[in-house]
Structure formats: C-alpha cells, structure tokens
C-alpha cells in the first residue's frame, strides 16, 4: 500500500483538528509563532499516541504504513506503539541522517531542536498507552495517579520546556494541574471509557460507595455514582488549586496560556458539579462563557 503526500498530510490534519475539542487551549493565536508551532507539534504527537492506544485512527491502515508496518497490523495496538517508539527515536537522530516516517513525528523535529526537548516525556506517553492495553481497572487512587504521571504530566512538562520556563517548582505545580485535568477528563468520559472496557475510577472507592460496573453502564447516574464522582471532582479541584500558583510564577503570554489550562479545568469541574455529578447522561462540558470566566479569574488571581 502506498501513501501519497496528500494522504499523509490529511491524516495529520485530522489529528490536529481535534485540538478544537479539548477542555483547554492548545496553541492560541496570542502566543509567539515558534511556540504555537512547537506546541501544535507536541499536541499532534500526543493525540496520535492516544488515538493509536484507543484504536481511533482512520480505517485503512495508513498510519501503519507510514510507520513501516503492513496495513493489517494497524489493529495490533502494541505493535503500532512499538513502531511509533521506533519512529520517535528517529526524531532524536536526525543529525545523523535519519528521518521520521510519520508526518506528525517529522513535525516534532524543529521543536526538539529549538527547545532542546528530551525523549523521556514522549516515551512516557507511549508507555501510558501500553499500560492501557494491559490494565483496565485501577485498585486505588494511588495507582490511578501513577497512570496520570505517565499519561498527563509529560504534556505539561513539554509545555514548560517549549516555552523555556522549566524549574523544579514549576514542574511540580504543572504535574498537579495535569493530573487534575486527566482526572476531570476521566469523569467526563466514564461512559465512553466503559465502552472500551476501561474504568478510571478507583476500585476501592467504587466499593466504598457501593458502585458496580452495571451502575456505570446505566443511562443516568444513581446516587452512589454521583457521590463517587463528587469525591473525584473534589480531588481534582484540590490538585488544580495546588498547581494554580504556576500561573502567577510566569509573566506575559505564557501566564495567559497557563491560566487557560487551569481555568479550563476549573470550568470543566464546575460543569460536572452543575450536572449534579451525573456524568453518564452525557459528558458535562463547560460553556465558552464559563471557560472565559474561569480563565479570567485565574489570570487575575495568578492562582
């Protein structure tokens, strides 16, 4: 199977277009052009990894071919993730003449060079999706947070690296924000995740609130499910508050971007609360006005 340049670019574009549906701004226009390019490259890579791990890539096996596999191997997610990691190594070997196969990884090369990015956060995202192929239930909150360390925190660390604003304290605050955003996304997607035979709610808390998997498969949430979701929402809010001083630690347009991340999380948590914690009737999503208000409030307070 031959993939034309137009076909490869179309696959990449369909991935990048998903940025418009995130809870937070990915690369808003007020940022410097170099930052926007690099952040979109990081987003495209992260989205590609997640889509492969979820089996959400376009049919036909184009991504498998781009990664040097046969089209029929596209359904083997672990094989696809292995091929993706091989292509990731090429991103960091371009000075020796190697070129990544996939267009979304080729887009990473300028960002890696400009910002001096390292392979570790990119590999962590692949490992999170490998974990998704082996683990579908989480025993307790600590185990779930361990997953978030791989699946979410690397993205925040990459944002700090791209913008040249890393420090140990900022990384710590960023990790708290990213974990909170991941927990909130898990709550919004309970029904969707269950359809994939995954539950990102701690089993210990499910037992504590007498929540069964059958309860999560219902069209609306009962009182027990709502109580569990309320506890998880409160945990996410606590993490957001812990990480929010990251906003006040920077200045200029980066401060505005980070306020958008934190505000997006707060607005999403508020939407879950407004839905009375019924995340099964449909993913509670914040309104644009709610997003702007939360981001503006976070920006003014710096936390």
DSSP string, the chain: ----HHHHHHHHHHHHGGGGGSSS-SS-TTS-HHHHHHHHHHHHHHHHHHHHHHT-SPTTSHHHHHTTS-GGGGG-HHHHHHHHHHHHHHHTTGGGT---SSHHHHTHHHHHHHHT--SHHHHHHHHHHHHHHH---BSSHHHHHHHHHHHTHHHHHHHHHHTT---HHHHHHHHHHHHHHHHHHHHHTHHHHHHTT---SBHHHHHHTT--HHHHTSSS--HHHHHHHHHHHHHHHHHHHHHTHHHHTS-HHHHHHHHHHHHHHHHHHHHHHHTTT--SSS-----HHHHHHHHHHHHHHT-
Cα separations in angstroms, 235 against 55, 176, 228: 29, 11, 11
Q: Among residues of the chain, what percentage have pLDDT more than 90?
A: 88
Instruction: Assess whether pLDDT exceeds 90 at residue 142.
Output: yes
Q: Of 22-26, 27-31, 202-206, give the lowest mean pLDDT range.
A: 22-26
pLDDT band of residue 10 (cuts 50, 70, 90) is low
pLDDT of 18: 57
Q: Of 2-11, 182-191, 204-213, give the lowest mean pLDDT range.
A: 2-11
pLDDT of 4: 46
pLDDT of 25: 65
- Residue 192: CB atoms within 10 A of its CB come to 11
Residue 51 sits at the vertex; the CA angle it makes with 218 and 20, to the nearest 5 degrees, is: 85
- What number of H helices and E strands is found in the chain? 17, 0
Instruction: Assess whether pLDDT exceeds 90 at residue 80.
Output: yes
pLDDT band of residue 13 (cuts 50, 70, 90) is low
pLDDT band of residue 96 (cuts 50, 70, 90) is confident
pLDDT of 6: 45
């Amino acid at each position: 199977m031959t993939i034309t340049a137009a076909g490869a670019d179309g696959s990449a574009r369909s991935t990048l277009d998903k940025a418009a549906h995130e809870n937070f701004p990915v690369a808003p226009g007020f940022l410097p052009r170099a930052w926007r390019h690099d952040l979109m490259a990081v987003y495209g890579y992260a989205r590609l990894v997640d889509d492969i791990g979820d089996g959400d890539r376009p049919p036909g096996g184009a991504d498998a071919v781009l990664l040097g596999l046969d089209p029929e191997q596209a359904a083997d997610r672990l094989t696809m993730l292995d091929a993706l990691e091989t292509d990731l190594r090429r991103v960091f070997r371009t000075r020796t003449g190697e070129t990544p196969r996939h267009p979304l990884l080729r887009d990473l090369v300028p960002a890696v060079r400009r910002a001096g990015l390292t392979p570790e956060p990119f590999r962590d995202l692949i490992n999170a999706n490998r974990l998704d192929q082996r683990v579908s239930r989480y025993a307790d909150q600590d185990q779930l947070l361990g997953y978030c360390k791989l699946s979410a925190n690397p993205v925040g660390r990459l944002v700090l690296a791209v913008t040249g604003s890393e420090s140990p304290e900022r990384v710590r605050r960023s990790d708290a924000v990213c974990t909170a955003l991941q927990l909130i996304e898990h709550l919004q997607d309970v029904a969707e995740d269950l359809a994939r035979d995954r539950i990102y709610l701690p089993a210990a808390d499910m037992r504590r609130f007498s929540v069964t998997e059958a309860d999560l498969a219902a069209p609306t949430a009962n009182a027990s499910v709502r109580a569990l979701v309320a506890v998880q929402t409160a945990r996410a809010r606590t993490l957001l508050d812990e990480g929010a001083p990251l906003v006040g630690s920077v200045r200029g347009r980066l401060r505005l971007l980070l306020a958008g991340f934190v505000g997006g999380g707060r607005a999403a948590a508020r939407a879950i609360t407004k839905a009375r914690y019924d995340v099964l009737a449909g993913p509670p999503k914040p309104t644009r006005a709610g997003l702007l208000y939360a981001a503006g409030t976070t920006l003014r307070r710096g936390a």
